[in-house]
Amino acid sequence: MADETAILLAAGKGERLRPLTLRTPKPLIKVHGTPMIETMINGLEKRGVKHIYIIVGYLGEQFDYLISKYPNVSLIQNKEYQNINNISSIYAARDVFGDSDCFICETDIVVSDTSIFDISLETSCYYGKMIKGYSGDWCFHQNKDGRIIEIGKGGTDQYNMCGICYLKAPDAVEIRDAVVEAYRHPGFYEQKYWDEIVDQEISNIVMTVVPVEQDQILEIDTLKELAAEDPGYLTVKEQ
């Protein structure tokens, strides 16, 4: 397997998990005793990913302990996280993005089954959960050969985004350059999700879906979802 890196997006405020996130960044909220971000790091280390870059912003100093705990982890500061959407985290990582095949992962999810990282990835891809019926979340529209031809909100009987993307090095360069180009157009890029840049460039990238089961990756957006997974949070009241 060629050398791989990972970029973990951990700069956001996680406002829907208040009051827990008033003092702790969402990726460091513990689920069954383990910070969410560490479930991702452990899966990537099991795969043998060479280096993991964590893009931090909100309460960023709290991630410092990860540098000592994991020798292959570095932190990159996103100084724009308060005013610009997560395209700013990819921009912050532009100097290390494109040098190798690369995972780009959200860190407010729980990887409950690290075997999802065991497979050989021959093309750029997103991990996706099949949702039967209509979903208003981010979906992947595919052609008959399984190639992703559009990424956007809303779809019926489609694979839904679940927080893990993988880009072959040439495709990572394509996305990096498109992000840098977007930054040259104030008023255009500020509210962009980085996945919208992938959608913009999708005709230039062979990208497929890696199916995962519902319980292999847990998406936790609200206190209700957190308490359903870890009853230790049942007494926490929303703010």
Domains of the chain, by residue range, sit at 4-112+163-196+214-230
What per-residue confidence (pLDDT) applies to 239? 64
What per-residue confidence (pLDDT) applies to 6? 97
Instruction: Determine whether 188 is exposed, middle or buried from the number of CB atoms within 10 Å of its CB (0-12, 13-18, 19+).
Output: exposed
Tokens of 226: 């957190």
* Cβ 167 vs Cβ 124: under 8 Å: yes
Measured distance CA(216)–CA(30) in Å, rounded = 17
pLDDT in tens, the chain (239 residues): 568 999 999 999 888 888 999 999 999 999 999 999 999 999 999 999 999 999 999 999 999 999 999 999 999 999 999 898 989 999 999 999 988 999 999 999 999 999 999 999 999 999 999 999 999 899 999 999 999 999 999 989 999 999 999 999 999 999 999 999 999 988 888 889 999 999 999 999 999 999 999 899 998 888 999 999 999 888 887 76
* Cβ 176 vs Cβ 94: under 8 Å: yes
Determine which helix (DSSP H) or strand (DSSP E) holds 200, and give its type and residue range: helix 194-200
Does this model's pTM top 0.85? My answer is: yes
What per-residue confidence (pLDDT) applies to 101? 95
Determine which helix (DSSP H) or strand (DSSP E) holds 149, and give its type and residue range: strand 148-167
* Cβ 162 vs Cβ 109: under 8 Å: yes
Closest among 34, 102, 109 to 93, alpha carbons compared:
102
55-80 b/e with 16+ CB inside 10 Å = b? bbbbbbebbeebeeebeebebbebeb
163: left (phi over 0), alpha (psi -120 to 50) or beta: left
CATH superfamily of 4-112+163-196+214-230: Spore Coat Polysaccharide Biosynthesis Protein SpsA; Chain A (3.90.550.10)
3-state secondary structure of 152: strand
In total, the chain counts a number of residues equal to 239
Measured distance CA(26)–CA(63) in Å, rounded = 11
Query: β-strands 124-142, 148-167: how paired?
Result: antiparallel
Q: What is residue 109's DSSP assignment?
A: E
What per-residue confidence (pLDDT) applies to 221? 87
What per-residue confidence (pLDDT) applies to 16? 86
3-state secondary structure of 196: helix
Q: What is residue 18's DSSP assignment?
A: T
Tokens 């100084």, located at residue:
79
| Residue 142 β-bridge partners | 148
